[in-house]
Structure 1
């Protein structure tokens, strides 16, 4: 084996949208020194067979490659079918003598692991190292697989791409990004918005993302739905915002939060999933999701430009140190070589 490691990232098709696809794209496009990185898809949203054909094709390819196999297979897992598709790849890779790693992205991983502990233990126990996004998933992995090293690593963001975002066609004081539905807490933001407008009559809010389980036909004054924007347009809107807001009920550690911080935009969000590891030091205001409290926090930030600027600087500094592609790539490379 040469000093350069060959890493194969496995997960959703990188041509699709979503946080996991974005992560795999970034890690593949800008590998850390000493790593050769490629990606293989096990599924895409349009696949009618839930990724069965793609997964079988990948497994066949690994078996047939023999001397040209990667040094590492690194799977990106959420929950549900992911532990069957990517889990099968990890188990076969380990049987072939390939080192294996997994990153846990799923918003419902903890609940899934409680309902299917044997499956989760079997898949993660086959890994040489597991990368959770924060302490909650990390503690669960340690409990299920006490012999498996756990190395928390954040998702990467492309600072160059973010800072090159074009001037937006839509601007707003507050920006929401994600599926427009209850899981992401859009109903909470809609209920809170009239309270924000009472303090700031000219304030505006845009909702960006695909439609979920909430209607957008009767939004309060000053709030509008702009649809699913192209990525560059969304980043431009976010870059111009005063505050980013994501009052979710269920998350892991969403890219919207990390990218907001990397753009120097303070975030108001709920302490669900791994978001709770963030706080004022990172430019994040944690709320409980109650609309009155959410309105008060948004109103306070809109009223205080100095605090927004200070929190924005904190978020940007933290993101540069912990979330840049280079920082995440170095952390992964260190773990690969130590395992």
Structure 2
């Protein structure tokens, strides 16, 4: 899959025609997938490239309309991998810069889409583009008439509710990781590097991998989760996927003052050194909120229960 990072105004024209899915696609949830899959199907039927256009950073972040959008459900690298899995041949990462934010809907069509060789565009029903979002899915169809086809994909609903990035974010904020997985079509995941912690878990019989996120992810609510941890190849060992119990929190039993939340994963039936490895964590089940214990003995007893419950859930 080719990845092209482009800015407005474009420096050159594309050499091949394409069917293009357009959107920010944060999360690449089932609604987003329905848009991308239509572009892939059209490209396959017409002998064109299947392409996706996304915007980076999030338009709301640049325009100051959503402070929470500095964190992503799918940072760019994750998003690109999901586009590849969906069948994209090429991705255009449009830098959302001030000049592009002020572009008119007509200029977006004539100075961006046509120069990228778009023969067919696919957008969601609520797609907006151009200065202050004055362009709509319907106006894109009108502007493209006679020059390229436009397919408008209706809302993707679950039990009467529109699947959206906001809906996924709200599910994660409430610890509803099972609901988030239903909306995404896969478990919600974050990636990061295993770093040295305070080694307290090892002293009480529950060694943990302390994971420092390597991108600004939306992270589920504080609490304890049953997760899967994907390990890369290392020192002659093949890549592995292992069950684990994870605490996302402040460690209130030991910490006397507020600190940054941490991700600590206790891998079940595993021994080894993971420091410096980049791992991926899939959130599967919420077990309980984080809480402060009266002492180490009570904490260890609860950790044993969490470990057993995680093993039971992950087996099933």
TM-score (norm 2): 0.38
Going by fraction, where is helix more abundant, 1 or 2? Answer: 1
Rg: which structure is higher? 2
Question: What's the TM-score, normalizing by structure 1?
Answer: 0.36
Higher relative strand content:
2
